[in-house]
């Protein structure tokens, strides 16, 4: 696969994700679902990550001799934004845990399912691209692309976040476990924070060498 095809696939995922992101955040606010809102903001972080991936893929074609450093810089930048987003999600979830609001479960569950479907589609679109790792087709040496790996793994994590959001909402609707909704938001925020921390370390190690 050439770089043009790879960039086109990334752009397709970005556009699909942006539409779903606004849908989830909007309905999350209206339905007072922290899990759904957190999933929407999580989607926003991988829109950013994929946008960085898209730009880096373009830059790498012009600077193949610095490919590893450029990819590491993209991963490092993405990790910083992800870390800030995770802190915001955790803060809002803790506040919602102590100040619960009524949740419109039917609407929230419906949009969560849509979000999950979109995430699965994005994973399928990017899977083949992941194996190519944004390499220029003239550059045969295999090196781990932290920038693209970050974007790909973030989509997978987002799909898992959608699953947990659906689980929390179903438990809240049928068993009255409303507290699970903000708890899932906290767990999701911690997962993003851990992922961002690991990516920051890996990227920084390459940048300083």
pLDDT at 140: 42
In the predicted model, what is the mean pLDDT of residues 55-76? 79
Domain residue ranges in the chain? 3-207
Question: Which is more confidently placed, 173 or 28?
Answer: 173
Burial class (CB in 10 A: 0-12, 13-18, 19+), 99: exposed
pLDDT beyond 80 at 29:
yes
In the predicted model, what is the mean pLDDT of residues 1-10? 67
SS (H, E, C) the chain: CCHHHHHHHHHHHHHHHHHHHHHHHHHHHHHCCHHHHHHHHHHHHHHHHHHHHHHHHHHHCCCHHHHHHHHHHHHHHHHHHHHHHHHHHHHHHHHHHHCCCCCCHHHHHHHHHHHHHHHHHHHHHHHHHHHHCCCCCCCCCCCCCHHHHHHHHHHHHHHHHHHHHHHHHHHHHHHCCCCHHHHHHHHHHHHHHHHHHHHHHHHHHHHCC
Note the pLDDT tens digit of each residue in 92-116. Answer: 889 988 888 788 888 788 888 888 8
pLDDT at 170: 92
- CATH number for the region 3-207 comes to 1.20.1510.10
């Amino acid at each position: 696969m050439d770089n043009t095809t790879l960039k086109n696939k990334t752009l397709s995922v970005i556009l699909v994700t942006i539409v779903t992101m606004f849908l989830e955040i909007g309905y999350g606010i209206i339905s007072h679902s922290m899990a759904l809102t957190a999933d929407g903001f999580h989607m926003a972080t991988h829109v950013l990550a994929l946008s960085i991936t898209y730009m880096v893929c373009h830059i790498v074609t012009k600077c193949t001799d610095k490919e590893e450093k450029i990819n590491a810089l993209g991963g490092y930048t993405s990790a910083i934004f992800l870390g800030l987003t995770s802190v915001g999600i955790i803060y809002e979830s803790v506040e919602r845990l102590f100040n619960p609001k009524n949740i419109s479960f039917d609407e929230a569950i419906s949009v969560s399912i849509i979000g999950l479907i979109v995430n699965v589609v994005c994973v399928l679109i990017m899977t083949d691209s992941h194996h190519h790792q944004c390499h220029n087709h003239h550059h045969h040496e295999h090196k781990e692309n932290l920038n693209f790996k970050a974007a790909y793994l973030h989509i997978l994590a987002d799909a898992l976040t959608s699953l947990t959001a659906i689980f929390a909402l179903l438990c809240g609707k049928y068993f009255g476990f409303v507290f699970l909704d903000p708890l899932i938001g906290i767990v999701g925020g911690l997962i993003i924070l851990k992922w961002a921390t690991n990516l920051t370390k890996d990227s920084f190690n390459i940048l300083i060498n």
